[in-house]
Amino acid sequence: MNITRPDGTRLLAQAGELADLLADAVDGGASVGFLAPLDRAQAVAWWRERSVAVAEGRLVVWVAHEEPGRVLGTVSLALPDRPNSRHRAELVKLMVHRTARGRGLGRRLLTVAEEEAAARGLTLLHLDTETGSPAERLYRSAGWTPVGAIPDYAADPGGTLRPTTVYYKRLGAGAVPPPAR
C-alpha cells in the first residue's frame, strides 16, 4: 500500500476516487460533515474544492491507495493563515475505507501527518471527532489528549446531533507529555 501527498492537480484528478471513499465513510456512519445519502456529485465537488486549497498551500492531503484507482484512506492537515497560529495545524478528515479497516491504515495515515507536521516545525496539532466513535480509540492510543466534549456539536450521517470531543497533541522538541490520569 502506498501513501502519497498529491499536489492540487493530482488531487483534482483523484476527486472521483476520493469521492467514493467519502461516500463509503458517510454510508458507514462516520461523522465527517455530510448527511446520508451523500450524492456522488456533491462528494466530487467537495474534493475539487480541496484541490484548490492544496494548490494554494492551505491544506496538505495524503492518500493511501492499493493500486491506481483504488483509494483506501486519506488524512489532511489544515494549515492556519494567521501569523499568531503558524505553529499549529488542524488534523482533518482521517478516513479509511470500511474494507481496509483493522489493518493499521488509520494509524499509518495519522503518523504520516504527525511526522510531516513536525518536519514543518509545527509544535501543536488539534482535531475534533464524534464522542464515542472508533476514531477516539485511535487518537487516545496515539498519544492525543482530550480537552473536552461539546454537546450536540454536529449531526451524524443520519441527522442526529452528537457530541464531539476536541483533542490536541504536542509535537517535536517542545512537546510536553500529557498530564497523568
What is the predicted pLDDT for the residue at 175? 58
Place of cell 491507495: 65
pTM surpassing 0.85?
yes
Query: 137-169, pLDDT tens digit by residue?
Result: 999 999 999 999 999 999 999 999 999 999 999
Long-range contacts, 84-88 (Cβ 8 Å, 24+): 87/121, 87/122, 87/123, 87/124, 88/122, 88/123, 88/124, 88/125, 88/126
Hey, what domains does the chain have and what are their CATH numbers? 2-127 (3.40.630.30)
From residue 99, give the alpha-carbon distance in Å to each of 13, 117, 124, 149.
23, 28, 32, 30
